[in-house]
Structure 1
């Protein structure tokens, strides 16, 4: 994974924690949440405050997310809102954390100048040991406070102030007045500078979960379904949903996407260079075959990949030939190819329509077309990292160089070109250029 880290493709944009004051605050928050502390004097954290270095130290990379449910978090700075979420167990978690930070940014900024804010993403279940539990996770609430309870103390003080103002003899209650003065020394003047965090309820109806090998649950649909990456049989037959598919049920998955109007053919999408997208998908497939054959792909150009396609033409899979037929049609040099859902190229030809679950659908499509390493990296990093470890070294090198050159210099622009206009992720603005330095690829 060293190549990915050096190019900022893994652990990129993490927040460095190196000052003794911040390390001490982190340890207080970590102990309050987990009963553990770190002996490290510098480390990096993601949007939730999880640190891969501390995970290594503790021998537990779920030290803030036990059982993959009700993720805990530590905020040392509002800058964490631009960081990624590592070891994600639910596709919605990062978005919820980011919204919480953005909605409370001024309050959190003030609080984190004094102390760490620690909290938890709460749902109605405490473990996901049974697939049925996924259907009970309908909404997420956030519970958060500083380790010194500034928020709860401020709420108590506001209650005391209301009593003082509204009770007939409140101004004569010496004990009440003394308690107010004591709390005010800690919280400040809450009448002028209120301390309160907005903790709205977040719906979680359509989402991906890493549990049970990876499942996509679409509940808020005209035609609901659960789609499993692995064999659906171990999930049982008592799930409270009519349709349960796995990746071998290609026809049923395709119909689900069509009936709910979730996808569109790339060649019919507005505002995209469909031919360029199809050609790049084909190049990735050629690279996959050539790497398996032991070819050196260092510095491979488009011309080199065309030569490899000719050399290994007989070994290229059906995905390549199906996309080639579609590319010829897109370039006006061939007839419309009949690519059904049974064809291995089918899901490579689609992208999500512009709707509320666009990112989730593109995530699903990325897993259904895993040879498209660019889409897999953008839409499903957990799967990308897992697959990357099993690739030949030549493919690892090519992919790392390609993503660093083609994607990292303009992430928002690349996503817009592939998937259409969208809200920038990871704190970016369109056409923002970043370069990466340091052991964790932090953006500078």
Structure 2
């Protein structure tokens, strides 16, 4: 993993905690949440305040996430909003924390100037040792305050102030006035400088969790289902459970709910470039299996390798090559059914609210596409990376550092972005020479570029 760390592909963009004042605030928050503290004088934290160095010191990877269920957090600066989330157990946790910081940025900036803000992502369960408890996770609420309770005291002062102004004898209530003065000593003038964090609640209809070997819950779709690596352990808790190895049922589920679209039909992307890159990654994977050296290999080298060893390449490569030939050169129609190993490589998430979750699922189903795996499912990427040959590790790390990290936003937009639909006038009838293209487009609309999804075998 040292290569990934050196290139900024692991533990990248963490926030340094390297001053005595910040370390002291962090320890105050850590004691407030967990009763523990660190003896380190400098370390790094993610968006939630989790530090891999502190986790090593405490010998506790879950020191801010007991039972992997209700994530606690420590905010020392609003700059944490751009940091990654390490040791994530739920796919929605980072987006929730980022939105909380952005929605309360001015208040958090003022609060963290003097103290750390500590809090928790609270749901209705405290442990998910039983799969049925996953179904009880419906909403996430955020509880947060400074370690000295400044937000709580400000709310209390506001309530006292309202009583003072609204009660007929408020001006003569010495006890009330004394309480207001006492609380105001810590909060300041909340009428001029209000200290208030928004009450935020997030629905949890569709999400991924790493519990039970990796589980995707889709409840907010027309045909709900749970996709999991541990079907036997989970099936008793849910009505519709699909094993992640059951490609046909997954394909049906995605199709029935309109969650995916074929890459070659997506608007606003260079489908040919995406397919070629997927093919290159498949070649790299095959080269690893045959012990070839890819040190310093360029795209031209990879494609030369593919030509020289075409007969030895896996089915995925040849299917994508045929799809590329059909899409760009009018080649023969490629029939890629849902049990074909290339099927999920031809798809990406459609334009909907859960596109990130679906692309995460597709990354798990297409592990040879290392770029999508790294972008959409980092935990799985790191796990698989540890088992690759040094040749593949070197090639993939260099590729990600030079072609992804330099323009992350642009790469994501090129792969997963969606153009807004445009209303266009109906074209005139095509000339006879275009009949073949028209028939091809009609066929896409009916069954997609791969052929019909297979029905589940009885």
SS in structure 2 of the partner of residue 120 of structure 1: strand
Q: Say if 1:29 and 1:118, in contact at 8 Å, map to a contact too.
A: yes
Q: Secondary structure at the match of 1:121?
A: strand
- Following TM superposition, by how much is the alpha carbon of 1:319 offset from its aligned partner in structure 2, in angstroms? 1.1
Separation in 2 of the partners of 1:318 and 1:232?
28
1:178-193 equivalence runs, <5 A: 178-193=178-193
Partner residue in 2 for 1:236:
235
Aligned to 1:5: 5
| Larger RCO (alpha carbons 8 Å, 6+ apart) | 1
Residue 145 (structure 2) aligns with: 145
**Kept after mapping to 2: 8 A contact 1:100/1:199:** no
Q: 2:290 corresponds to which residue?
A: 293
CA distance in 2 between partners of 1:41 and 1:311 (Å): 55
Alignment check: 8 A CA contact 2:138 2:205 kept: yes
Name structure 1 gaps, 5 residues minimum: 423-444
Larger Rg: 2
Aligned residues of 1:208 and 1:217 also touching (Cα < 8 A): yes
Is the counterpart of residue 78 in structure 1 residue 74 in structure 2? Answer: no
CA offsets per residue over residues 70-121 of structure 1, 9 Å max, x none?
A: 1000000011111110111000000110111111111111100010000000
| Alignment partner of 1:254 is 2:260 | no
Provide, for residues 127-146 of structure 1, a one-character-per-residue CA deviation record: whole Å limited to 9, x for no partner: 00011111100000011000
How do residues 429-440 of structure 1 correspond to structure 2 at under 5 angstroms? none
Question: Does 2:277 correspond to 1:273?
Answer: no
For residue 175 of structure 2, what is the aligned residue in structure 1?
175
Residue 438 of structure 1: aligned partner? none
Contact 2:268/2:418, CA 8 A, preserved across alignment = no
Provide the TM-score with structure 1 as the length reference: 0.92
Deviation at 1:46, TM superposition (A): 0.4
Q: Of the candidates 347, 356, 360, which is equivalent to residue 359 of structure 1?
A: 356
Gaps of 5+ in 2: 420-458
Alignment match, 1:216? 216
Q: Secondary structure at the match of 1:338?
A: coil
C-alpha separation between the residues in 2 aligned to 1:237 and 1:81?
39
- Cα offset for 1:421? 4.2
Say which of 332, 341, 345 aligns to 2:342: 345
The residue that corresponds to 1:432 in the other structure is: none
**How many equivalent residue pairs?**
419
Whole-angstrom distance in 2 between the partners of 1:307 and 1:201:
54
Cα 1:18–1:421 change in 2 (3 A) is: farther
In 1, Cα distance between equivalents of 2:382 and 2:17: 25
1:161 deviates by 1.0
Q: 1:306 aligned to 2:303?
A: yes
Distance 1:35 1:421 in 2: 47
2:134 is matched with which residue?
134
Do residues 38 (structure 1) and 35 (structure 2) align? no
Rounded Cα–Cα distance in structure 1 between residues aligned with 2:67 and 2:312:
43
TM-aligned CA distance change 1:236 to 1:262, over 3 Å: closer
**Structure 2 length as normaliser, TM-score?**
0.90
Q: Partners of 1:59 and 1:126 in 2: how far apart?
A: 22
Quick check: 1:264 aligned with 2:261? Answer: yes
Which range moved further: 177-186 or 7-16? 177-186
Structure 1 residue 175 displacement after superposition: 2.3
Q: Does 1:418 find its partner at 2:428?
A: no
Which residue matches 1:67? 67
- Tell me: CA distance 1:403–1:81, structure 2 relative to 1, closer, same or farther (3 Å): same
Note closer, same or farther for the CA distance 1:354–1:30 as it changes in structure 2 (3 Å cut): same
Inter-partner Cα distance in structure 2 for 1:238 and 1:204: 18
**What is the DSSP-based 3-state SS (H/G/I as helix, E as strand, rest coil) of the residue aligned with 1:196?**
coil
Q: For 1:116 and 1:2, how far apart are their aligned partners in 2?
A: 31
For the residue of structure 2 that corresponds to 1:62, the secondary structure is: coil
Distance, in Å, in 1 between the alignment partners of 2:347 and 2:14 is: 32
How far apart, in 2, do the equivalents of 1:294 and 1:317 lie?
Answer: 15
Question: Counterparts of 1:198-213 in structure 2 under 5 Å?
Answer: 198-213=198-213
Cα deviation, 1:120-167, whole Å, max 9, x if unaligned, reads 000000100011111100000011000000001111111111121122
Structure 2 CA distance for aligned equivalents of residues 248 and 181 of structure 1: 65
Please list the CA deviations of residues 280-308 of structure 1 after superposition, one character each: whole Å capped at 9, or x if unmatched. Answer: 10110111111222222111012211232
Question: How far has the Cα of 1:238 moved from its partner?
Answer: 3.8
